[in-house]
Amino acid sequence: MFNPEISVKEPARTAGEHDEAKQGEALMLETSKGNGRKLYIESYGCAMNFSDSEIVASIMADMGFQTTQNHKEADVVFINTCSIRENAEQRVRNRLKEFGSAKKENPGMIVGVLGCMAERLKSKFLEEEKLVDVVVGPDAYRDLPNLIGKVDEGNREVNVLLSREETYADISPVRLNSNGITAFISIMRGCDNMCSFCVVPFTRGRERSRDPHSIVNEARALSAQGYREVTLLGQNVDSYKWQSHSGEEVSPSGGDLEGTGTVNFAQLLEMVAQVSPNLRVRFSTSHPKDITDEVLHTIAKYENICKYIHLPVQSGNSRVLELMNRTYDRKWYMERVDAIHRIIPECAISTDVIAGFCTETEEEHQETLSMMDYVKYDFAYMFMYSERPGTLAAKRYADDIPDEVKKRRLQEIVQRQQEHSHLRLLEQIGKIQKVLIEGYSKKSPNDFSGRSDQNATVVFPADKRFKPGQYVNVLAEHCTTATLIGRIID
């Protein structure tokens, strides 16, 4: 069966605007303290959701909960949801029914829905379908002890209030299912962009940036624990802007300096890069209207800031982009791509593409394909447009492109991206890649697997001199359509 939502050469968990819900992943926490109660968390969607689950796990650990890999033995089951795509909601609903069956065998079990689906579907979950006991929005996780207590007393509870201040900056996330090598750091929450197809501003609230000191301190702690890569997360990292409310002045190096008391994203990148030359820094997601030359020059300046940018285009046609309320046009996007290649010649670029947006003509679809030819993306997330209730597009435009046309256009986009992904890998053959070993290949215990600076997956024979968490130089000798294959060189 044709899958209408496809990523070609998918980067490891980005926070791209349309990083579609992945198959549910149980996130496990090991803790020495406990109250005899067990917690099971399953997370769907973008990297922001996985990061939020780490915050929830920390809050629940402070309540004495230990986690389990088996939801049937859990006292509390949480599913952290994604509202980006309709089929993600259906998967969540089906999963809740499975949890309901387990609850019949364990009547004391508490089932809760967290995250982006909470606000929009709270009444259905709580009242109509009675699938859950508690519904908690992304800004209300601190209220979990109170909510769980009330559910223990026999109530159904909900808190989906959005906040203009909450960043969870003081909560140390529990690293769930961690390989001890890579970790997420959330630098901001919410979104002020009102893209007409997107529910994020309604489910995650207005944009607010986290204190840069707390971000740098988290990066330092991870580096001290042996982590070798962090990904800075935000719906639009380029609009990160923190301003001291106390008049405190901050320098990019983390010290006090005469200045404005503000930190932008380029300065934050520099602050994190200076934590350790052995700590790689990635980030996601960038918005074409906001990514500046200052950010690009900062990436070029530091060897440990990865030369990889996720830059969602969505459409290659200016009229469709205006309908999407993306606030840039085709020419602007191409200029930003040109700037990336000029300032960071070896930079890899990935993207998001929507096929069959409202009123899209065949000629406009062809402009998306020509944009792909212009950029030749290394990776892409590609989707068929699906109308999301409550969005501006749902209110203003008819979803008037037939499904069979959407599917055909998407398949053409997918095929084009497969060609470009393979081409980008072929260009790396014969070059030396600096690779962070993340573990062993899924296909062979005799091979290491890791990612290059440009986020390409690289597989190479394991060497007893090295282990996961170390950097090695790998000569790329050949490739599949999605993976570089090589050998370690001194």
Q: pLDDT tens digits for 435-451? A: 999 999 999 999 999 99
pLDDT of residue 250: 55
- Separation between Cα atoms, residue 210 and residue 189, nearest integer Å: 8
Buried b (16+ CB within 10 A) or exposed e, 125-142: bbeeeebbbbbbbbbbbb
The average pLDDT across 413-442 equals: 97
The residue count of the chain comes to 490
pLDDT of residue 436: 97
pLDDT of residue 248: 54
* Type of residue numbered 452: S
Residue 473's nearest CA partner among 433, 429, 414 is 433
What is the phi/psi pair of residue 310, to 5°? Answer: -90, 115
Which one has a higher pLDDT value, 477 or 51?
477
User: How many CB atoms are located within 10 Å of the residue 41 CB?
Assistant: 28
Give percent of the chain above pLDDT 90: 67
Degrees, nearest 5: CA angle 202-188-393: 25
**Is 82's pLDDT higher than 90?**
no
**Is 2's pLDDT higher than 70?**
no
The average pLDDT across 471-488 equals: 96
Q: How confident is the model at residue 23 (pLDDT cuts 50, 70, 90)?
A: very low
pLDDT of residue 389: 86
Global pTM value = 0.87
Which one has a higher pLDDT value, 336 or 124?
336
Encoded tokens for 275: 């934590």
Which one has a higher pLDDT value, 48 or 258?
48
Q: Is the torsion defined by CA of 72, 98, 80, 1 positive or negative? A: positive
CA 474 to chain centre: 27
**How does DSSP classify residue 305?**
B
Q: Which residue has the tokens 């508690």?
A: 134
- Tell me the per-residue pLDDT of 194-247, one tens digit each, with 9 for 90 and over: 999 998 888 888 999 999 999 999 999 999 999 999 999 999 999 999 988 655
* Type of residue numbered 11: P
Which one has a higher pLDDT value, 49 or 313?
313
Average pLDDT, the chain: 88
Beta bridge pairs of residue 49? none
Q: How confident is the model at residue 48 (pLDDT cuts 50, 70, 90)?
A: confident
- Tell me the per-residue pLDDT of 119-143, one tens digit each, with 9 for 90 and over: 777 777 777 667 899 999 999 999 9
How much of the chain is helix, strand and coil, in % rounded to 5? 35, 25, 45
What is the phi/psi pair of residue 358, to 5°? Answer: -45, 130
Beta bridge pairs of residue 26? 42
- Domains annotated for the chain, with CATH where assigned, are 5-159 (3.40.50.12160), 179-306 (3.30.750.210), 332-427 (3.30.750.200), 432-489 (2.40.50.140)
Q: How confident is the model at residue 249 (pLDDT cuts 50, 70, 90)?
A: low
Residue 354's nearest CA partner among 364, 343, 341 is 364
Which one has a higher pLDDT value, 183 or 9?
183
Lowest mean pLDDT among 34-48, 134-148, 238-252, 289-303: 238-252
- What strands lie across the sheet with 348-355, from one edge to the other? 5-8, 379-384, 348-355, 308-310
Inter-CA distances, 391 with 305, 395, 403, Å: 35, 7, 20
Degrees, nearest 5: CA angle 220-451-284: 60
The top-scoring range by mean pLDDT among 7-11, 118-122, 141-145, 172-176 is 141-145
Q: How confident is the model at residue 317 (pLDDT cuts 50, 70, 90)?
A: very high
- Separation between Cα atoms, residue 461 and residue 392, nearest integer Å: 51
**Is 37's pLDDT higher than 80?**
yes
Q: How confident is the model at residue 34 (pLDDT cuts 50, 70, 90)?
A: low
Lowest mean pLDDT among 302-306, 387-391, 394-398, 421-425: 387-391
pLDDT of residue 376: 98
* Cβ contact 27:404 at 8 Å: no
Q: How confident is the model at residue 17 (pLDDT cuts 50, 70, 90)?
A: very low
* Cβ contact 240:187 at 8 Å: yes
Inter-CA distances, 259 with 41, 238, 242, 294, Å: 44, 21, 13, 18
The average pLDDT across 177-199 equals: 91
Degrees, nearest 5: CA angle 166-171-177: 115
The average pLDDT across 259-277 equals: 91
* Cβ contact 433:473 at 8 Å: yes
**Is 113's pLDDT higher than 60?**
yes
Which one has a higher pLDDT value, 325 or 172?
325
The top-scoring range by mean pLDDT among 16-20, 187-191, 253-257 is 187-191
Which one has a higher pLDDT value, 248 or 5?
248
Cis peptide bond prior to 285, omega within 30° of 0: yes
Degrees, nearest 5: CA angle 91-96-101: 130
**Is 28's pLDDT higher than 70?**
no
* Cβ contact 224:202 at 8 Å: no
